[in-house]
Each structure stands twice: as structure tokens, then as C-alpha cells.
Structure 1
């Protein structure tokens, strides 16, 4: 277990995998770094095994076997890319997907603000072409369509891609790789802006996906990538964002290395509050990139100070993860002993990492709720917690509501304000256990 060595960087490096264990069908598969090919992977935290986080169960599936997969974060000792083994085939995960971006009002506002700023910053007009990779249900490109700009979404999930088309967003059902990027460029022209929000962590083939980005973007164009910042994940104990859909976890330094493999240079970076702390990378083809901004240098300096450009910055994380688990379980057990009722709010992927790692089942959390109708009437993977419509909370008047999508804290605190009428309180498990009145 990684927790045995969390305080000693020298011991942290003892869990290393060799290239002789990397056959795709092996239960200990694909253990070479997917960016640089090194076999020198160092344990950061081992979360045990859990099912894919978006594989919600129907009632008919409750008595069937449910596959689980190891969830063990390691960092490459050579290039510093943090990663988990690619044990889940993205085709299985994303062909039909349970996550629809448009159900979060704050995320819609974030996307609309980005569209406004990108149009202004890049001088986009009706002659411009915008492509979004992993465009989901068209949550962002709807704003581009409303501005009269030509656009295309590339979305692998059939069901959410269909929702985008119904909303008037042209959408291609496909996974991005070099061949897809070249085909889109041939059929539609090169893109002035390629957007890749919260997808760069979701692809096991970093090199092929990055080559696809370069194929899509014009030789004088821009690529904008949003991804959770590994610095925030580690500093704020956000371990529940480690799940099988997220194959790797980026610093600016490792993102630069990845983009450089296809001739793309990071020229600017923005720090964002989304997902508990993200970065927005602005990249361009090498020939037109120019020197990186002061903001790039500033974030790199901060990462280096935190030890993330070496191995020392990863020591201690496993112990902090264990503390989160112990504190949450202690709260739930004590509440049950006092006869108080705790229910959940939200059924996000991150919540399923938390529930499975902590072993939280209906005896401690009788149900959770979610605004997404796709999830209502189903059960959380692994822990089998039933999911209801949010109206259930007002009907039952629980003592506490455990907020699983803690990254939407401001939005959900407003939504859940009515629980104060009966003395209900909110529970946020991360970065540390916090019980508050809404």
C-alpha cells in the first residue's frame, strides 16, 4: 500500500514497475509511462479497486457481477507525468455516457464567459472556424453558434452528441486521433481555435490525441485546453478526481512536454477555480508561438516550489488521503449512532471514487440525488447507493446533506439553502471535513 511510504521520498520510489509487465491483456497491464515510455513509475497513492465511475447500475443489474479495476496513481520518475494504468477502454466508457455538461448552471456560465473572451482575444468573426473536442452536449458551442461562427463538435458519446445536434450544434461522433484530425481538416478546413476542455486527462493515447490537435488547428491558429491542475489536486486533497476516466494528471511542465510531441508550444496559462483548481493552457504551432508569457513562468515556479518537478512533492499525499477517509467515516458512523440521517447530493464520477474508497454504502448513506434524469432511478457503481430526484430531500428533511460535487460548492449551497428551514446542514468532505449551515 502506498500509505506505507508516504513520508519518505526515497521509500516512495521503491514501488517501481518494469517494462516486462506491460502486455495489454495482463492484469498488471500497460505500466510504462505513456508519454516518455519509461518503466520507472513511482507510487503516489493506491486507492484499491473500484468500478468505472460512470457505470451506474439499473435495478436489474444489482444482482449481476460488477467488474472492478485497480486505481493506483503513479508518477513517472523521468518525465514526471502522473498517471494510472489504462485499464479501461475509452470506447466502453464514452460510447454512451452519463455526464451532460448542461446540467450545471455554473459550468454553462463558465463556458459562456470563455466564448466571449476567446472571440475577443483572438479576433474571431463569421469567417472563423471553431472546433471543440469532447464537446459533450454542445454546452459551449451553442454560444459559438449564437454568434454566427462556423463550428464543429467532435464527441465520441453517441447519446450526448445527439443532444448537441438537437440543440443545433454540428457534431461529429468520433474519438480524436491524428487520422480524425486530418479528416476534419480536409473536409472542413483548418480551425482558427481548437477547444479541448476537460478531455486531455481522459485519453490514454496522449501522443495520438495531441497529434490530432495539431492536425485540426491552422498553422497560425490557437489551441485552448482546460484540465485540472495537479498542484491543486495534491495540495487540496482532491483525490476523488482520480478515477479510471482520468488517465493522467497534469502540471504545466508535463502539459508542455506532451504538447511539444506534436509541435505545439504553450504560450500562456490561466489559473481557474473550476474543478477545485484548473489551468487553461493556450498553445500554438511552434513556428508562430513566440516566447511564453510571464504567467507560464509564474506557474512553473510555483510547481517547482511545491516539489512537483521532482519526486519530493508527491510524498505525504497518501497519508492525507487516509485522513480524509477516516474523518468522513467517523462523521457518518457517529451521526448514525446519534440517530441522525445523512443523505447525499449529486452523483458525480468523483463521488464514486470517494464512496468506493471509503466503503460508504446505504447503511451510512441511504441515498443521493441528482438533477440528471439519466442517473435517477439508478444506483452508484460499487456502493449501490440509490439515486433519486432532488425533490426527495425536501420530502425527507434529513439532518445532513453530504455534497459529493464539492467543486460546485457555491452553486449547490444556494440550491440547498432551503434545508436550513428544518435545521439541515451541509457536509463537504474535501479538502477536509466541514459541516456548515447553508
Structure 2
């Protein structure tokens, strides 16, 4: 209803959500006998269809509705929009700022965004799962930016070892054979590596030689070793970033977009907010030919969400522990928050990082960002699992983990802190 007969942009946190949102809107419009004014915009949509989406939002009186991921956060002029919605909550304040900036462009109009955070409350679920995490993240992001003007600081890696390997091998490949000091000077003179100590680079080179990626000649020069040749001679090495093999999807001669998971002929999936049935897969030319279909829908993207900063998790904890009222919440959201606060207080969720969960299970709530959460997960799996007799560790990043084993909550918390 917020987008009905309007020029509207719906931000989602995944391609799957964008696809499913527009597919459902198309179905509703068809039942009403209304025309198709719906579009999808994300990185797997063809350039032609993305440009059509941008033009529909930028030109004419509307209506036009598009669901998009971060591809429409910035850099593209979309003109004046009547509605900007967020399905779920952004993972970062930086993303929230960019998405909020898509509204309020008409003269002195204020920027506004409607958050839609559908979360079912299951009273039979485990304690942490009963928390409305998406709603809480939405409140935290809004409060941090609107009240405190905070956004995530730029994170510059001090020791980008992966990039260091890539550039060392690339430069050595271009030199053919080099004096170790000449190679070191060529690599460490690059801006990304100015913080790397020369002694650390020497240790890095010794490791590379030991692994056979670099070979030392009798004259003292170095060149790429046999193990290294297998890597640098692969065309994917020069892309730097992970490169998923994509197949282009065609409806007749029209390019719709691309997919990385290729199902067999007869399979139905959604792309560009429409249902397609696979007619043929051309593996040699990496092409998939489809026709329009109806029925059950699947999406072919399994990507996880974005990283959440520790400051956002700390704000979520603060929101749960306070009695502050937020005037921008709908009555149902305010009531949901109040129930979550009451449950958090009664259960001790805010006062202890490790809580008994019944039987030999425990909840761990680190109240830390995604990166710190993953570090703790590795600590448990690689260092503490055997020593503490943990038989299972189930992460629900970045909110909580469920662990089970022979240890107790107090001992587990002491071991984590130590």
C-alpha cells in the first residue's frame, strides 16, 4: 500500500528479497487488474534492464516501483521519488545514510524512509530467537546516525597479506627473475604496503620459498616456483577478487541477467522479478535459455548478509536495556519492543554473556560485531571445543551462538575471557 500508484524505491538486503518482493507485487497487481510497473535492480540483472529501471524512476509521472540492493544506493540520478522503503534493516549506518539520501530531494522536503521489518514472534522458540533482532537493528542504526551522527569508520587493513601475496607474485612474474632486495623495494614501495616492516616481508618471503611458491637460484636471485606457477598462470589470478563463474540468461534474444548456480532444464526460478523455466543450458558458451513460466518459485542466490559493527550491537543492547520511547515506531513495533525488553530483563539476557539453555546447551551473546563474532566462533571451534568437550557450536551471526557439551556456563565464560 505504501507504494501503490507511486514512484517508489524499495531497498532490500539481498537479491533474493528484491526478486521475491517484486514477484509478489506483480501478482497483487495482476489480481487488481493493474498494469505492470515493477522493476528489479541488482548486480545480476542485465545492463539494459537496469537502465530501464533507472529511466522509469527518473522520467515521467509514474507510477513505477523498483526493488534494489546496494546498486541504487548512490551514484545514479533517480529524480524525485514519492516513497523510499527499507525491507528489513540496513546492516550499517553508512548504508542507511545512502539509502535515506534517495528521499527528500523535492525542494526543502525532509528525507524520510519507511522501515518494514516483518518478524514473527514465536513464544515456543529458544530465548535469543524470541528477540526481534531486525527491529532492534533498525532502531540502533537510526539512533546512531540521527542522534549521534555516527557512521562506521573506514577500515584500512594494516597487514593485507592476501594482496601482498598477489602483488609479490605479479611483480615477480613481470620481472622474470629478480634480486630479493629489488623485489622487496618494488613491492613495499606500493601505498598499500607502507605499513609493513621490511623484516616481516623477509619472513613472508622465507615462508613463500618454503612452500615452493618462490624458488631461490644458486646466484641468490628469486623466481616463481613450481607451486606458484600453477597459480599465476591461471587467468583468475589477475582478477584479485573472487570470481564466480556466471551464465547469462536469455529469453529468446533478450538478455535478462546472469546466474552463478545453473539448474537443469525444466527448473523454474525468478530473475528480474519474473518466473522463468529453463529450456536449454549451453555450457560451452555459458548461456541459459528460458521462457516465461508460472508456479513455484526459487531464487538462486545464497549470499549472507553484510557485516554489523560492534557499535551497532552495543546500541542494540542499550536499546533493550533502556525505557526510551521512539516516536517513529508504529504501535505494533513499539509493543513488540516492549515485550522484548521485558523478556530480556526477566531472563538475564543483558547481564550475562553465557546463559544456560537447558540440558547441556548454553547461549553465548557476545554483543560484538560480525568480525569479532567470527573470531569467537573460530576460538571455540579450534581452541576450546576439545578441551571443554563441546559437541556442537551453532552460530547465529552476529547475535548469539548455541553451544552444547560437557562444560557449564560459568566455566565456558571464564575460558572465553581468558
Q: How does the TM-score come out when normalised to structure 2?
A: 0.29
User: Comparing both chains, which one has the higher relative contact order based on Cα–Cα distances under 8 Å and sequence gaps of 6 or more?
Assistant: 1
Q: Of the two, which has the highest radius of gyration?
A: 2
Q: How does the TM-score come out when normalised to structure 1?
A: 0.28
